[in-house]
Amino acid sequence: GAGVSQSPRYKVAKRGQDVALRCDPISGHVSLFWYQQALGQGPEFLTYFQNEAQLDKSGLPSDRFFAERPEGSVSTLKIQRTQQEDSAVYLCASSQRDGPNQPQHFGDGTRLSIL
């Protein structure tokens, strides 16, 4: 597709359930980022992939969060044993090349609500 695609757009889960969020980056983009945006806040970095390699996962809030990008394209963010504090919008972004000057292209996000 032309842009970054995320699915589902909305996810409601009960506390304790596992969830999986999908990101389809722009074709050919090397870099892929996940961010978490709490209500009324700016996005916060979770993790970064260069192709299939996860080079930085310093922003993942706990070991319940896991991300993968096995073939260097589609990525999945998995949250195990969800908690209410996991409720947020999860944004995926990709950029064509590596480098701090590269603009990131964002998807519309997945809004996760934990009941």
Partner 1 sequence: AQSVTQLGSHVSVSEGALVLLRCNYSSSVPPYLFWYVQYPNQGLQLLLKYTSAATLVKGINGFEAEFKKSETSFHLTKPSAHMSDAAEYFCAVSGDAGGTSYGKLTFGQGTILTVHP
Q: Does 45 bind partner 1 (CB under 8 A)?
A: yes
Q: Does 54 bind partner 1 (CB under 8 A)?
A: no
Cβ proximity to partner 1: between 70 and 103 the closer is: 103
Q: Does 48 bind partner 1 (CB under 8 A)?
A: yes
For residues 4 and 26, the answer to whether their CB atoms sit within 8 Å is yes
Exposed/middle/buried for residue 96 (C-beta within 10 Å: 0-12, 13-18, 19+): middle
Give me Rg for the CA atoms of the chain: 13
Token code pair at residue 39: 């209500």
55-94 residues in contact with partner 1 (CB under 8 A) are 55-56, 91, 93
Cβ proximity to partner 1: between 1 and 99 the closer is: 99
For residues 78 and 66, the answer to whether their CB atoms sit within 8 Å is yes
- Site for partner 1, rule CB under 8 A: 4, 6, 31, 33, 35, 40-45, 48, 50, 55-56, 91, 93, 95, 98-109, 111
